[in-house]
């Protein structure tokens, strides 16, 4: 059974510092890995999707890497801003055909960027 | 605007009552999903549907029921058999097919509270 872990659970940085968010998963047989952002009381916003054949994916200040062999993905946010304060969740999509496109989520990292 | 809508935003239920949460999408996605989120935790899959008139149990289906009579709609009923229904409920949709591009998109969520 896939298990996804995000450490630390919370992170506080000064504005301008680069953010590094970690995600680890136990089963390397994944289709893809998604990173999401969640603001308090809101739904999830998809940030990046990395296919299992890719090593990294970039969008603006965001860069996500994927290392299936070690069961790790990292989300980098460059030059953090107070507006980046949110909870960031990673989720792994199962490769098992019977499982369809099921996502297994980590518990999230709550980020606070201080002005 | 294309997207996923959920209603109501807030819902209060008395013990012993069944309640139904609405989820509608106009993204022309085949697959739809229901997740539950508890404070400080990641999302857990309740039910998912790959196609109209078909749905599968997720990891925590007990006490819940769904229907998929139309491609656009995937309502979730929380029955009186669900012992701890207070949570934040999120609906998602994605294209279907065993590919690596099946990015899931989420609605704004419904917060259910049992009185």
Q: What is the pLDDT of residues B60-70, one digit of tens each?
A: 999 999 999 99
Mean pLDDT value across residues A83-103: 82
Q: Greater confidence, B98 or A89?
A: A89
Residue A49, pLDDT score? 93
Confidence of residue A98 (pLDDT cuts 50, 70, 90): low
Nearest Cα of chain A lies from the Cα of B25 at a distance, in angstroms, of 14
Q: Which residues of A touch B107 (CB under 8 A)?
A: 43
**pLDDT of A4 higher than 60:** yes
**pLDDT of B1 higher than 80:** no
**Which residues lie below 8 Å from residue A43, measured CB to CB, with a gap of 6+?**
B6, B90, B106, B107, B108, B109
Neighbours of B3 (CB within 10 A): 13
Q: Does the CB of A93 have a partner CB in chain B at under 8 Å? A: yes
Average pLDDT, chain A: 92
User: Is there a cis peptide before residue A46, judged by omega within 30 degrees of 0?
Assistant: no
Report how far residue B92's alpha carbon sits from residue B36's, in angstroms, rounded to the nearest whole number: 11
Of the residues A52, A100, A109, the best mutation for testing chain B's interface (the one with the most B CB atoms within 10 Å of its CB) is A100
- Which parts of chain A fold into alpha helices (H)? none
Which has the closest alpha carbon to A94: B29, B57, B106, B100? B100
| B42: DSSP letter | -
What are B59's two structure tokens? 């990891």
Indicate yes or no: CB of A103 within 8 angstroms of CB of B41: no
Please state, for a pLDDT cut of 70, what percent of chain A lies above it. 94
Residue A31, pLDDT score? 85
β strands within A52-105, DSSP E: 56-59, 62-67, 72-77, 86-94, 103-105
How many Cβ pairs within 8 Å bridge chains A and B?
72
**pLDDT of B99 higher than 60:** no
**pLDDT of A100 higher than 90:** no
Of A15-19, B22-26, B40-44, the one with minimum mean pLDDT is B40-44
Q: Which residues of A touch B103 (CB under 8 A)?
A: 32, 34, 46, 49
Average pLDDT, chain B: 91
Please state, for a pLDDT cut of 90, what percent of chain A lies above it. 81
pLDDT tens-digit readout, A40-89: 999 999 999 998 889 999 999 999 999 999 999 999 999 999 999 999 99
| B8: DSSP letter | -
Planar angle of CA B96, B33, A84, nearest 5 degrees: 100
Contact by Cβ (8 Å): A51, B101: yes
Indicate yes or no: CB of B100 within 8 angstroms of CB of A31: yes
Could you tell me the strand order of the sheet in which A4-5 lies?
A: A4-5, A19-25, A72-77, A62-67, A56-59
What are B6's two structure tokens? 């959920």
Mean pLDDT value across residues B33-52: 91
């Amino acid at each position: 059974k896939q298990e996804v872990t995000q450490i630390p659970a919370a992170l506080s940085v000064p504005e301008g510092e680069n953010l590094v968010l970690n995600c680890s998963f136990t089963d390397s047989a994944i289709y893809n890995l998604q990173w999401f952002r969640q603001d308090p009381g809101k739904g999830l916003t998809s940030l990046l999707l990395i296919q299992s054949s890719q090593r990294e994916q970039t969008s603006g200040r965001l860069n996500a890497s994927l290392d299936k062999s070690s069961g790790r993905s990292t989300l980098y946010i460059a030059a953090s801003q107070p507006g980046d304060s949110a909870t960031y969740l990673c989720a792994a999509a199962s490769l098992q055909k019977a499982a369809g496109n099921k996502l297994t989520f980590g518990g999230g990292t709550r980020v606070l960027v201080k002005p | 605007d294309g997207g996923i809508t959920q209603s109501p935003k807030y819902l209060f239920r008395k013990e012993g009552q069944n309640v139904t949460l609405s989820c509608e999408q106009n993204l022309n996605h085949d697959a739809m999903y229901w997740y539950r989120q508890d404070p400080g935790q990641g999302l857990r899959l309740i039910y998912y549907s790959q196609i109209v008139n078909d749905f599968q149990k997720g990891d925590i289906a007990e006490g819940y029921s769904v229907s998929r009579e139309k491609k656009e709609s995937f309502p979730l009923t929380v029955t009186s058999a669900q012992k701890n229904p207070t949570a934040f409920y999120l609906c998602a949709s994605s294209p279907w097919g065993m590919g690596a591009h099946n990015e899931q998109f989420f609605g704004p969520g419904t917060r259910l509270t049992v009185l």
